[in-house]
Structure 1
Amino acid sequence: MLDLAAPLFLLLLPLPFLARRLLPPHAAQEGALYLPEAFAAAARPTSAFARSERWEGALRAILWLALVLALAGPERLKAVPDLSASGREIVLTLDMSGSMLIEDFDIDGVQSTRLEAVKRVARSFVEERQGDRIGLVLFANRAYVAAPLTFDLAAVGRAIEEASIGITGRSTAIADGLGLALKRVTEGAAASRVIVLLSDGQDNAHQIDARQVAALAARHGVRIHTIALGPDDLETRPAARDAVDTATLRAIAEASRGRSYRVRGMEDLRAMAADLDRLEPNPAERPPVLVPEPLWRWPALVALGAALALGLSRAGLALRQRRTGRAA
């Protein structure tokens, strides 16, 4: 799509024509020198001179048209993805307890650990969030910030890929991880602040109740979406060794006006990621924006070429006239 940045400059196009019609003609001066017929015939304009005049007239017209068009600022409107900041901050808070090494997920027909499945979906989720600030908090016995809130999604993806079990123990301090994520996300002034909390166990290394952290998040306008990961939970199999505490995770989400998810396999994990994109609209899905690409340089180059050709034409005509005069 082509457009003009300053179309009013096109009003200058008829200016040479108007000047020629409206300005008084230049008064011709009487010749004071009488020449013999032979010299006068040599001084009269020839057909070559007439052709040169027509050529120069065309060059002057091209030069003027190109200059006016360049001043009008032609531009091409290109549709590009809207990569502007969305005003949303999301902190992924991932459980790094020992139970994340249990191999009960099927990834493309290969038995894989819970950690590998979470990494795959989390990386995919982060890659699509252009325009959001994303951070990463990992927790086990203690919590730490693996990636601060940033627009550098590639750095967050690398932090997810490098996450490993055992760096801060093998227990599950959900409240500590949630508290650290809340501290980070409330430090800024984003219009929308979200925590995505994933755990596959019970809060067995806490110093405060995770529900209290959720209530504090609600007072600060922070939504917490929780993901209960694993085949067993305390509600259906309370005696299971690695059962996830779905009730606590659900209570955290409800207290902060978030959404709670129950994930037992890879399909549930993908569906959860898709639903999060719906709840927290993906900036990558925003309509493209039209960005102007200036094109004035092309008519400017045409004008430059016409000016050079006009100068060369006049120089050539002057040279031919001198040679004709010497021959006469």
Structure 2
Amino acid sequence: MFSFEWPWVFTAVLLPFVVYRFLKPVPQDKAALKVPFYAQLSGTLQTSQTVVRKGRLLILLTIWLLLLASAAKPMWLGDPEPLLTSPRDLMLAVDISGSMETKDMQLGSQMVDRLVGIKVVLDGFIKRRSQDRMGLILFADNAYIQTPLTLDHRTLVKFLNEAQIGFAGQKTAIGDAIGLALKRMKKSSEKSKVLILLTDGANTAGTVTPLDAAKMAAEHGLKIYTLGFGADELIVSSFFGNRRINPSADLDESTLQKIAELTAGQYFRARSIDELVKIYQLLDELEPQPAAGKGIVPQQSLFYWPLGAALLLSILLALVQIVRGLIFTRPSKAIRESENA
């Protein structure tokens, strides 16, 4: 947005007219210079002088307006950028073990695997957390950092969507995922540190047990929200007909609840994509966005544009005056001949 910081400067726009109207002109010598070839020039001079006088007045007025515009401090104001007064570090840990390939999630009119459902829900959650530093851990046989803590949420979503089942093996290392999150976050200077861990199974791999990792997390102030994900019932077709199974039979809800209790967090159970959406909306309420301070408005000063234009016009006007002076102070050949006669 374009704006003037000192718009009151434009109240001086009529100052030249006031000076011209009320100040007495400088006394001039009334003696006239007799020019022998005046008759030959009078008609041409009167017309040309009138045109030149009006053009010169217009240029001077333009220069004055440009100088006023420069003095008024023109600014280009950008979009306000909020200041964070209490940022939060929030790490997401997502299970990509083999069981996440189970297609027990309904998305629209089709059944999709669990990881696809998670990606859809997390996309909206990440976009809502614009003021948090967020990172992503993927885990299966091992845990690894997919995205370090960052405010670049577009990149975070990109790397989340690139995650594939089986990248890190087929088992589930919940304890290692917590340990890796703690390692990354315990050195952070932020007061609020949160881990949201989502899995559909039990700890079957890794070097650290989930509860030992949770105890260490509690000592360092890392709050953990655990999410158990997967349907309770799935109809499977076979040669002998349809049968109902529990695709989440391996989900260790007891351990997930204890992890949340040890770290002052909370455990949630999501059996569908809709339930997962509601859980992440609840997490928005439990961990609200940090308060934003008064925003900074980026400013770019533009005074040099009208000032430069005024300077350029002044130079051009001076050059025109010099050229006119040279032309009219040198008589033409015809006039010199008439004088000699």
Give the TM-score normalised by structure 1: 0.77
Look up the match of 1:153: 153
3-state DSSP of counterpart to 1:79: coil
Change in CA separation of 1:159 and 1:3 when aligned onto 2, cut-off 3 Å = closer
3-state DSSP of counterpart to 1:307: helix
Which amino acid in the other structure matches residue 55 of structure 2?
Answer: W
Quote the offset at 1:66 in angstroms. Answer: 0.8
Alpha-carbon distance in structure 1 between the residues aligned to 2:195 and 2:22: 74
Structure 2: runs of 5+ lacking an equivalent: 234-245, 336-341
Which amino acid in the other structure matches residue 69 of structure 2?
Answer: L
Query: Could you report, residue by residue, the CA deviation over 1:114-141 in whole angstroms, capped at 9, with x for unpaired residues?
Result: 1221122223433454443322212223
Does structure 1 retain, via aligned residues, the 8 Å contact 2:176–2:213? no
Alpha-carbon distance in structure 2 between the residues aligned to 1:102 and 1:200: 10
Look up the match of 2:269: 262
Alignment of structure 1 residues 9-158 onto 2, 5 Å: 28=28, 35=34, 38-39=37-38, 42=41, 46-79=46-79, 82=82, 87-158=87-158
Alpha-carbon distance in structure 1 between the residues aligned to 2:129 and 2:102: 29
3-state DSSP of counterpart to 2:79: strand
- Asked if 1:247 is matched to 2:258, the reply is no
Count of residue pairs the alignment pairs up:
322
Does structure 1 retain, via aligned residues, the 8 Å contact 2:198–2:229? yes
Look up the match of 1:236: none
Identity of aligned residues (%): 31
Does structure 2 retain, via aligned residues, the 8 Å contact 1:92–1:195? yes
Change in CA separation of 1:259 and 1:49 when aligned onto 2, cut-off 3 Å = farther
Q: Which has the higher Rg, Structure 1 or Structure 2?
A: 2
3-state DSSP of counterpart to 1:66: helix
Which amino acid in the other structure matches residue 192 of structure 1?
Answer: S
Change in CA separation of 1:287 and 1:97 when aligned onto 2, cut-off 3 Å = farther
Structure 1: runs of 5+ lacking an equivalent: 234-238
Alpha-carbon distance in structure 2 between the residues aligned to 1:205 and 1:145: 17
- Asked if 1:299 is matched to 2:298, the reply is no
Does structure 2 retain, via aligned residues, the 8 Å contact 1:101–1:115? yes
- Asked if 1:194 is matched to 2:201, the reply is no
Which amino acid in the other structure matches residue 71 of structure 2?
Answer: L
Q: Which residue among 311, 314, 324 is the counterpart of 2:321?
A: 314
Alpha-carbon distance in structure 2 between the residues aligned to 1:247 and 1:107: 28
Query: Could you report, residue by residue, the CA deviation over 1:63-100 in whole angstroms, capped at 9, with x for unpaired residues?
Result: 02212212322224343564979732221111122221
Give the TM-score normalised by structure 2: 0.74
Change in CA separation of 1:164 and 1:29 when aligned onto 2, cut-off 3 Å = same
Residue range with higher mean Cα deviation, 69-78 or 289-298:
289-298
3-state DSSP of counterpart to 1:172: coil
